[in-house]
Structure formats: C-alpha cells, structure tokens
Amino acid sequence: MLVEKIVGNIATLENRPPHAEYIYLESDQLVKRIQRMKTDHGNEVGIRLGKNEELADGDVLYMDEKNMVVISVKKDDVLVISPVNIQQMGEVAHQLGNRHIPAQFEGEEMYVQYDYLIEELLEELTVPHTREKRKVAEPFRYIGHHHE
C-alpha cells in the first residue's frame, strides 16, 4: 500500500472502523516524508508525503469501513526539567542553548532527549529533574548553527 495523503487523526474521527492496525514509530521518524514500514499485523506500507507534510501521533493513513492504519509514536527517553525559580531556568536555558540541545515545553516543565552529560549538568547545577519515558508532541529538531 502506498500512502500519499493523511486521512485524518484518530483523536478527531467521528466514525471509526471496527479494526485498527498500528505502525509504531520513533519520534524522529515523523519528519521523514518518504519511508517504508510495517503495521503490527505485518502489512507493508509506503509513505510519500508532500513537501511540507509531517506525520503526527494518531494520524490515520488508510481507512475503509472495516479497517484503518494508524501511526503511534513510541515513548522517548527524556529528562523532565523542573527549575524552581527564574534564575535556575535562565541557567538551564543558557547551558542547553550553548549545546544546541532542542527542548520542548509542557505546562511548567521543560524536557529534552536523555543524555547522560545533560543529566550530569543538571545535577551539578542542582536543578530538579527526572528521567522518564514520554510521548512527545513533536520530534526534537536540531537547528543547524555555527559560530563565527
């Protein structure tokens, strides 16, 4: 099966077929417009999306009256950072920015992909943090940059 368009997202579907097959992806695979994968039922699916299209957790790639194929993002290994004040937040943001580490925010929490060096840095700065497995809203994106 070749998919060139996302049908919708399972979170907003009103009528669902009785059966679903899932494709489990790492979060960094969401940005790949062209890829080949298998469903949890062993069916092969090829994806070729448009230039500015990306996959998201819950996207429905195929649907008929009996079945649908849905993207499910695996949980990432992340450090959840919870600075106690603006001073700590500034220090953490400065240190992560110097290392070009992409971060995401959810409520009062900041999280980054797990890295033992970042964990050591947080311990050195005595910033409260935990290591968790979480589904991320979007893939971590490294922004290309060079110092002059």
List the domain boundaries for the chain: 2-73, 76-134
State both tokens at 14.
């009103």
Per-residue pLDDT of the chain (148 residues; tens, 9 = 90+): 899 999 999 999 888 889 999 999 999 899 888 999 999 999 999 999 988 888 999 999 999 999 999 999 999 999 999 999 999 999 999 999 899 898 988 888 899 999 999 999 999 999 999 999 998 877 887 655 444 5
Q: State the architecture of 2-73 in CATH terms.
A: Sandwich (2.60)
Q: Let me know: does 141 contact 102? Beta carbons within 8 Å.
A: yes
User: Do 76-134 and 2-73 fall under one CATH topology?
Assistant: no
Dihedral angle sign, alpha carbons of residues 111, 13, 62, 41? positive
The CATH number of the structural domain formed by 76-134 is: 3.30.70.790
- CA–CA gap between residue 12 and residue 38 (Å, rounded): 24
pTM over 0.85: no
Using an 8 Å Cβ cutoff, are 60 and 6 in contact?
yes
Instruction: Please report the pLDDT score of residue 145 as a whole number.
Output: 47
